Every structure is written in structure tokens, then in C-alpha cells.
Structure 1
Amino acid sequence: MSHPLSVALLRGINVGGKNILPMKSLAELFRQSGAEDIKTYIQSGNVVFRAAHPDKVAAKVRAQIGEQFSLKVPVVIRSAAEITTTITTNPYLQSGIDPSWLHVMFLAGVPSAGQIAKLDPTRSAPDEFALIGRDLYLHLPNGAAKTRLTATWFDSTLKTTGTQRNWRTVLTLSDMMAV
């Protein structure tokens, strides 16, 4: 019986010519760590794969990236079902907002109520965010490059690690995971 599909979302690789990690090498690290049916999408660290224990595969890959490439790269895992929930739960889709302004930051952990209370919704107006579970939905009408709603700010405030994807990438990953 084959294992369910998962996606590994790596943060901060191949961005702006920094933290270079070829996708072929990354796919091989996943294979060596026990993953099967490995597919990568674009150069920014999206890996769809099958494994009995996706979190264990991610931990091995993270360690190997550190050893072989001297990079400390956070890896966030989501199942196919979780990606589907991310898509159906997006509060900005019901608002009729232009999808090119939408992003999702996938968080490694669920922040506490106290940490969530520290978020400032006016930090980067007119940009908006909505936190639902481990998914942080972003509406960025001024563009991702100009927002003050950064991964660093959210990580620091929420005491977890996140990695952001634009809405088109989220939909493509979902399509890649469709059985």
C-alpha cells in the first residue's frame, strides 16, 4: 500500500541568489531519507512526496541540508488533506479579492492565544492577515515585496516558524497532490 502524499515547504532557499540548493539535489536528499514519488515544483523548495512518516523524512532532510550545504533551512510539512483545507478555508476568497494578492504562510506550530493577541492588524495597512490554525492567510494589495507583514515579524511574534507561498503556488501544489 502506498503512503499518503505530503508536501515539504522549505524556507529561504534559492531566493535572490542566496542559499542555493539545486532541486535535483534536494529530491535526492528526500529519496535518501525514505521518501517515494518525489516531485519538486519551482526552485523555491516545494517537494511533494510519499512517506510513512513525513515529519521524520523532513527532519533527516533538514539535517542533511545542514551537513552537505551548510544551510539551516526550516521545513514545514502539510498533508494533501491539510492543503485542501487551506484552500477551502481561505477567508479572502469569499471576499472576491484578486488572487494575485493572496499568500499563505504555513506555520510549523499553532501559536498560543497570548502570542496571537500580540499581532498588530494595522502594522502594514492596507495589507491584511487572518490566522486559522497553522495557516496565516495574507492579503497583500501592495505586493509581497513592500509589506511589513514579514516572516521574521510573524516568527518573532508568534514564536514559531513559517514559510510563505503565493496563492498560485498553493493551488499548483494541491493539483500535484490530487490523487
Structure 2
Amino acid sequence: MPNETYIAILRGVNVGSTQVKMAVLQKIFEDAGYEKVQTYIQSGNVLFDTRRTDTLKLARDVEALLRSELKAEIPVLVLDTGALREIHESNPFIVGRNEDIGKLHVTFLAEQPETSRLDKLERDKYLPDEFLPGEKAIYLFCPNGYGRTKLHNNFFESKLKVTATTRNWKTVTELLRLAAGR
């Protein structure tokens, strides 16, 4: 079985007390046996290859690895290239509306939330910011910028009871480009 490319998206890296140099992060992954390890920008995005296929188990293993090596609790989401491509190609703010990509973000979810929790979210309550749920992702349009929205990771984690981490559209696009080009 050939290696597959995966994307690890770490929550809360280099935005608070969890400061990690990307060279250190890359070495941790390489020392653990992952191949073709590459980081992208300082927010905790790691591309790597492995023969393993269970993304939930990979995420838990990377969390344990980071806990051991960095002495930090860092939630991790792992996607294969196909899942990232599906999220990228399904953005309703581009596909249906062609919004300014500088105002778009994706909140990645560790698992699909319960439908009842999604149904309880009052989308009109947060205008002009908008969100639309997708498969293990929430698509965001924040016309005044992500820094001003109430639709942040903690909001979605609290309401949906799942781990969440957000990336801007440029980062999502670049991660897909890097993963697809391997």
C-alpha cells in the first residue's frame, strides 16, 4: 500500500501561550516516522505522508506525540487530501455567491456535529457575519474581518460540542495546492 498525504491542522498554535517553531514541529513529525513532512506558515499546518489511513487515530496519535514532546495539550484534526479537496470545492460562499476570498474562512470540525445542535444555531443573529455548515466544516463569511466576529472556534466548540479550528481561505487553498502537488 503506497503512502497517502495527510494534513494535520493544529488548534491554538502560536496564537496564545502555545508557541512552537515550525522547524521543531517538522522534526517531531519526522522523528515519529512520518515522511515528506512540510509545515505551512506559523499557525500549525503540517503536511505528511504515511501508510496509515485512519484519520481519527492519526489525530489522536499526533496529539499524544505533541503532548509527550512539547508538554502541551494541542487539539489536532487530520484530513486526507480528498477530504480537504471536498471542503475546498464545496464552499457555498464561492460556488454560489462569489464572495471576496479575503473575507472567507473555514472552521474545521473534528467530527460531524449532531444535527440538532446545528439546527439550534440562529444564523441571522450574527449578521453581517454568515456561516453555513458543511461536512465536518463550517464555512464563514466575515465582511468586517475574522478578528471582529463572534463566530470563532470557542463559539462553535461550545455550541456544537466538537473540537474546531479555523483557517482563512488563502491557507485552505494553499494547503490543498501543496497536498495535491506531492
TM-score category (smaller protein):
over 0.9
Task: Report if the CA contact (8 A) 1:110-1:134 is conserved.
Answer: yes
Q: Which amino acid aligns with 2:41?
A: I
- Asked if 1:4 corresponds to 2:4, the answer is yes
Gaps of 5+ in 2: none
Q: Does the aligned pair in 1 maintain the 2:10–2:43 contact within 8 Å?
A: yes
Q: Percent identity?
A: 36
Structure 1's unaligned 5+ residue stretches are none
| Runs of 4+ that moved beyond 4 A | none
The equivalences for 1:23-102 within 5 A come to: 23-53=22-52, 55=55, 56-93=57-94, 94-102=96-104
Shift in Å, 1:59: 2.3
Q: CA deviation at 1:67?
A: 2.7
Match of 1:111 among 70, 92, 113: 113
Alpha-carbon RMSD across the aligned residues, in angstroms, is 1.5
CA offset at residue 124 of structure 1? 2.1
TM-score norm. by structure 2 comes to: 0.92
- 1:120 deviation in Å? 1.8
Distance 1:61 1:134 in 2: 19
Partner amino acid, structure 2, of 1:65: L
Do the aligned residues in 2 keep the contact of 1:13 with 1:21 (CA within 8 Å)?
A: yes
Aligned length: 178
Shift of 1:137: 0.3
8 Å contact kept, 1:33–1:61? no
1:5, 1:177 within 8 Å by CA — same for their partners in 2?
A: yes
Does the 8 Å contact 1:110/1:133 carry over to 2? yes
Structure 1 stretch 58-67 or stretch 149-158: which is displaced more? Answer: 58-67
TM-score, scaled relative to structure 1: 0.93
Aligned to 1:174: 176
Give SS of 2:148's match: coil
Question: Is the Cα contact below 8 Å between 2:7 and 2:47 reproduced in 1?
Answer: yes
